[in-house]
Structure 1
Amino acid sequence: MKVAVADVGTNSSHLLLAEAAGSGYRVLDALKDRTALGECLDEAGNLTPEGEDRLAGALTRFRELSGAAGIPEVRVYATSALREAPNGQAVAQRMRERTGLYPAIISGEREGHLTYLGAAHSVEFGPDTLLLDLGGGSLEFARGGPEAPTDVLSLPVGAIRMTRAFLRHDPPPAREVQALQAHVQDLVRPHVSRFAAQPGTRVVLSSGTAEAAAVALNAAHTKATLAGPDGSVNGVSFTVAALGGLLDRTRALRPGARLKVPGFEKRAGTIVAGLAVLHAALDLLGVREVTVSEGALREGMLIEELAQLNAFTGGLSLRQRSVLATAERFGANLAHAGHVAQLARDLLAALARTGESFPDEARPLLTAAAALHETGQIVSQSAHHKHAAYLIRHTDLRGFSPRERELIAQVARYHRRSPPKASHADFAALPAADQALVSRLAAILRVADGLDRAHAGGTQFRELRRARAEDGWTLHVTGATPLDLAGAREKADLWTREFGPLTFRNL
């Protein structure tokens, strides 16, 4: 299984292509684009047309590289730059229209969680690990155990943001750096009890600034552990005192001299602020030594994506595996298919708990239809629901009877556009009981598919509540983007017909 993930940051955007390999993954290709969206904000904080053009160009290149590698879609997450821009959601929608990729805007806490996951698979995490991840717009703190964080915080003190707010001169005088560090510590101080270093705490840094510091310290022959033979600094450790010394030396350098420092070539304009932010936060938290992780947000995205795929494929029966093989053969987006299948199964189970009656075959038929609902895109996007039905009817789905294959085809066919009608010949040919089953399962699939319209995989089912008959249903979810919620509302028409009105709450 191959997957593609990308993150859009304040300074740069990154694409990572990989495939599952045993219990881990193997990187196939990577691409970095210095979009520098932090440079493209107007006085109100909105992303400018130039910034949109930069982002559209990067996403187009990402889509083209992914397509050349045989990966149909790229999961894209956007962080601080779009998260804080008043027009961020509108920009995300325009990117979808211009490039076919939708940069789902994630919270700082979600960013910290995923970065922790990526870093934990790059260096060894202990029972008490503290991660600091510095970006252009924000600094994330995450504390937890070997695999997952239990506490996450995001503060708006990124390297680009602090450079613009405090460093008026170049090189900056000591008073400007001191003011910057005082501001950082003022914001961190209320959270010291949550993130202060304790005996045995392992502290990990994950950011371009941290990697640059490790390279510079290694080149200067300080107390940094030697970098790997390939130049990698993953796992390199250095003291906070050494970081402070590097900050002092860097602050005094003129711009041309900073460019010549190993590691600073691509971030000479923001490195002083980046070092100052890290040193201020680490010093306040009582940290003495840190370790650098090259694994970050996109690696965490990749690990999560593969885990979701493994959970989807691992839960399939033998005949459902034939469905998966068919979906792969027709180039379906397995991550999206798996997420929609899980949402659909959750909705089916929730309906059953409220007293709605379904036959035992409903779950496997719905799962198969969800896995195959986009296979028709290999023929044409505009009518892919009809092409999917045709492909399913004429594909050897092992373990399914001709009747079951026809039901799967029709449920998949009605995942979009027109709901089932008596004027549709194939639907009208079904017995009444099968017509009812197709309509009810298609109603569920339409809502589940709408809830992942952004193909970001973030929407999670929480609860389905049944109100009085005239009020219908309320579906509680978390992590849905505005595009997901709009998609679900748009596709709830058949649900309303079959079960009653449906409203959505994103918790």
Structure 2
Amino acid sequence: MGGYRVLDALKDRTRLGECLDAAGNLTPEGEERLAAALTHFQALGAAAGVPDVQVYATSALREAPNGEAVAARIRERTGIYPVIISGEREGQLTYLGAAHSVDFGPDNLLLDLGGGSLELARGGPEQAQDVLSVPLGAIRMTRAHLHHDPPTKAEVRAVQDAVRAALAPHAARFRVQPGTHVVLSSGTAEAAAALIAAQGDSVPGSVNGLSLTTADLGALLERTRSLSAARRTRLPGLERRADTVVAGLAVLHAALETLGATRATVSEGALREGMLIEELGRHAAYAAGLSARQRSVLGAAERFGANLAHARHVTALARDLLTRLEEAGEASAPEARSLLTAAAGLHEVGQIVAQSSHHKHGAYLIRHAGLRGFSPREIELVAQLARYHRKSGPKLSHPEYAALSTPDRTLVARLAAVLRVADGLDRSHAGQVRLLALTRSPSGWTLALSGANPLDLAGARDKADLWAREFGPLTLKAEQPGEEAMLGA
């Protein structure tokens, strides 16, 4: 797996946990904070030539009853869809990010504290095998228990009692054993390590890999508890978290004591780094398995600035769909898989010209991209498949399609039907959808999925018209209850 180099970094603490109404819904203020932050990130990415921004939403949107509706509105406003991930998925990615930031051993226990939740993850050198997410975040616990400035000792005890009660049923799973490496990942942990290590009023430039004891953390908790929020603001590193640091330290201290940890290492690598490491690993595995002609496709996609993560996931979905169709008795030409793979990898290259009509621009670029290993006929078929990944399906009124032989017209129509559904299933560009089963009945087809969010389901619904024409009606059956939709005519 290749490494990476940070070109720029921007942190915008939206603190969405502060923007929840009595029913737990995200308020208009929270939605504005989120939209503003994503707009800033989008501008930074555009300045660096980044074609796509990947955003994962965690506790606040995950638990808000209107979280999915907010995510959909944010996409309409900014063009970015904040994909809501589970606490378990958050813990796995954070573990991956920490594992590439500090030295992990055979048995590691990660505690990652956010505004709304605390994730515990246990595993080996690379991956977490056991993940728990509990609603013990710093903002949540501040709002629930700390009502005085400075907080009283009784209020801090209430926070720690809540932590012990929440972790008690799971303590055996995550209890520290001889040789367990305990790691903390959070802004609170970084601030604590910096303060404990500080000499005078200065703090170290980086706290990654620094070690602190549970006793040191307890002493810092009492020190910050006794100060007003205004005085905590003057402590180095607490300028922007003075109001939540007491609850955050109380949660971490109680969790470490409950699990039997006397010392922990701080990791600056967390969810963001885990997302990046996972993406790099996926791309490396994808590129390693390509044939010479498909490496030519990848080179063209890179040259035209395509979103490689989306292209890769659509390719995987399309190939999987084709395999399942063939297993169900739908025959396809010997070259079908190779052509579909190439078209899926290049289906959005036309966006380098313009978003509007990018399917038509893409077909032109593919015809003139100099793809190696493809005959002129195959290049034309790939171009037409990309042309029909969106908007209208193939028609005899389209000159290029009409010029094909009858077998090639059939091939384009059937493969384009597969590509359209695959592309729709990654409408959010989240790369989370997996196919579980494709079955046929007298009334049509049923496709069972996991990981699909409402935007992905809507995308597949909008693009299933050609599938219905070529194969028959398609029903999506999502893993989560209540996410089934009838697709096609």
- TM-score, normalised to structure 1's length? 0.92
Is contact 2:395–2:402 with CA below 8 Å preserved after alignment? Answer: yes
Matched, 1:485 2:457: yes
Moved more, 247-256 or 189-198: 247-256
Is contact 2:15–2:115 with CA below 8 Å preserved after alignment? Answer: no
Q: What is the aligned partner in structure 1 of residue 35 from structure 2? A: 56
Give the number of equivalent residue pairs.
478
Alignment partner of 1:413 out of 383, 387, 397:
387
Matched, 1:467 2:440: yes
Q: What is the aligned partner in structure 2 of residue 281 from structure 1? A: 255
Q: What is the aligned partner in structure 2 of residue 326 from structure 1? A: 300
What does 1:55-74 correspond to in 2, within 5 Å?
55-74=34-53
**Distance of 1:35 and 1:351 partners within structure 2:** 45
Q: What is the aligned partner in structure 2 of residue 124 from structure 1? A: 103
CA drift of 1:359 comes to 1.9
What does 1:32-431 correspond to in 2, within 5 Å?
32-219=11-198, 231-431=205-405
CA drift of 1:245 comes to 1.3
Q: What is the aligned partner in structure 1 of residue 487 from structure 2? A: none
Is contact 2:195–2:203 with CA below 8 Å preserved after alignment? Answer: no
Is contact 1:172–1:251 with CA below 8 Å preserved after alignment? Answer: yes
**Distance of 1:505 and 1:197 partners within structure 2:** 41
Is contact 1:227–1:236 with CA below 8 Å preserved after alignment? Answer: no
Please, what is the CA RMSD of the aligned residues?
1.5
Matched, 1:29 2:30: no
**Amino acid across the alignment from 1:468:** S
Instruction: Kindly provide the CA deviation profile for residues 81-139 of structure 1, in whole angstroms up to 9, marking residues without a partner as x.
Output: 11111111111111111111111111111101100110000011111111110000000
Instruction: Kindly provide the CA deviation profile for residues 264-309 of structure 1, in whole angstroms up to 9, marking residues without a partner as x.
Output: 2221100000000111111111111101100000100111111222
Is contact 1:308–1:339 with CA below 8 Å preserved after alignment? Answer: no
**Amino acid across the alignment from 2:288:** G
Percent identity between the two aligned chains: 69
Secondary structure of the 1:30 match is coil
**Distance of 2:375 and 2:414 partners within structure 1:** 20
**Distance of 1:437 and 1:95 partners within structure 2:** 38
Instruction: Kindly provide the CA deviation profile for residues 400-423 of structure 1, in whole angstroms up to 9, marking residues without a partner as x.
Output: 111000100111111111111222
CA drift of 1:220 comes to 6.3
Q: What is the aligned partner in structure 2 of residue 506 from structure 1? A: 478
**Distance of 2:74 and 2:85 partners within structure 1:** 16
Is contact 2:449–2:477 with CA below 8 Å preserved after alignment? Answer: yes
Instruction: Kindly provide the CA deviation profile for residues 483-507 of structure 1, in whole angstroms up to 9, marking residues without a partner as x.
Output: 0111112211111222222222232
Unaligned runs of 5+ in 1: 1-21
- TM-score, normalised to structure 2's length? 0.95
Unaligned runs of 5+ in 2: 480-489
Is contact 2:101–2:269 with CA below 8 Å preserved after alignment? Answer: yes
Is contact 1:129–1:146 with CA below 8 Å preserved after alignment? Answer: yes
Secondary structure of the 1:26 match is coil
**Distance of 1:455 and 1:484 partners within structure 2:** 9
**Distance of 2:282 and 2:474 partners within structure 1:** 27
**Distance of 2:432 and 2:440 partners within structure 1:** 26
**Amino acid across the alignment from 1:125:** F
CA drift of 1:374 comes to 0.5
CA drift of 1:476 comes to 2.1
Is contact 1:344–1:367 with CA below 8 Å preserved after alignment? Answer: yes
Is contact 1:216–1:264 with CA below 8 Å preserved after alignment? Answer: no
CA drift of 1:39 comes to 2.2
Moved more, 193-202 or 132-141: 193-202
Is contact 1:118–1:295 with CA below 8 Å preserved after alignment? Answer: yes
Is contact 1:163–1:273 with CA below 8 Å preserved after alignment? Answer: yes
Is contact 1:40–1:47 with CA below 8 Å preserved after alignment? Answer: yes
CA drift of 1:36 comes to 2.2
Structure 1 residue runs of 4 or more that deviate by more than 4 Å after TM superposition: none
**Distance of 1:416 and 1:299 partners within structure 2:** 33
Instruction: Kindly provide the CA deviation profile for residues 374-396 of structure 1, in whole angstroms up to 9, marking residues without a partner as x.
Output: 11111221211111111111221
CA drift of 1:41 comes to 1.9
Secondary structure of the 2:4 match is strand
**Distance of 2:188 and 2:399 partners within structure 1:** 63
**Amino acid across the alignment from 1:484:** D
**Distance of 2:435 and 2:172 partners within structure 1:** 33
**Distance of 1:309 and 1:23 partners within structure 2:** 9
**Distance of 1:411 and 1:147 partners within structure 2:** 39
Moved more, 28-37 or 276-285: 28-37
CA drift of 1:58 comes to 1.2
Q: What is the aligned partner in structure 2 of residue 12 from structure 1? A: none
**Amino acid across the alignment from 1:119:** A
